[in-house]
Amino acid sequence: MEAIDREKVQQAINQFAGKDVYVHLETTNGAYASHFDENAYNVGAFIRNAHVKYEHGKIVGTGGSYRIGLKLDLGWVYAEGVTDYEVDDQNRLLMAGHDREGRLMVALEISETPFTHESKED
């Protein structure tokens, strides 16, 4: 993965607009929180292979952290804190946000085919 380039990411998001796609969305502070602070809550959300069609998508933010929003017919899907991206050899748009130690905090991935357990990101 490489640091977000807003223009390139926006172009990739636009390529999937109006198509039936699969979305992987994950947020976590994982076990990191409670290992370092016993009073901290572990939080997370995970959805894999949500089959959606978004009208349009947008990347916003400046500096190293961005929000990606996908406008659905009846709402939105968004991820905040995205720092890195890549378009892999299967033409999937993989975006992630990492903390200062490089640990995954958020992932948003878009593909025209379902994600499998053999995917690079697993």
Looking up residue 77, the CATH number of its domain turns out to be: 2.70.180.10
Whether residue 39 lies inside any domain: the answer is: yes
DSSP summary character for residue 74: T
Residues 6+ apart with CB under 8 A from 88: 94, 120
Cβ proximity of 104 and 96 under 8 Å: yes
Q: Is residue 119 part of a domain?
A: no
Domain that holds residue 14: 2-111
β partners of residue 22: 51, 111
**Which has the closest alpha carbon to 92: 67, 121, 122?**
121
Amino acid identity, position 54: Y
Q: Which two tokens stand for residue 117?
A: 């357990």
Residue 116 falls inside a structural domain: no
Token digits of residue 111:
């593909």
Entry pTM: 0.86
Per-residue pLDDT 10s for the chain (122 aa) are: 999 999 999 999 999 999 999 999 999 876 555 555 666 667 788 899 999 999 999 999 977 899 999 999 999 999 999 999 999 999 999 999 988 888 889 999 999 999 987 645 44
User: Does residue 121 lie within any of the structural domains?
Assistant: no
| Number of domains comprising the chain | 1
Q: Residue 101 is encoded by which pair of tokens?
A: 């130690």
Q: For strand 104-111 and strand 93-98, is the pairing parallel, antiparallel, or unpaired?
A: antiparallel
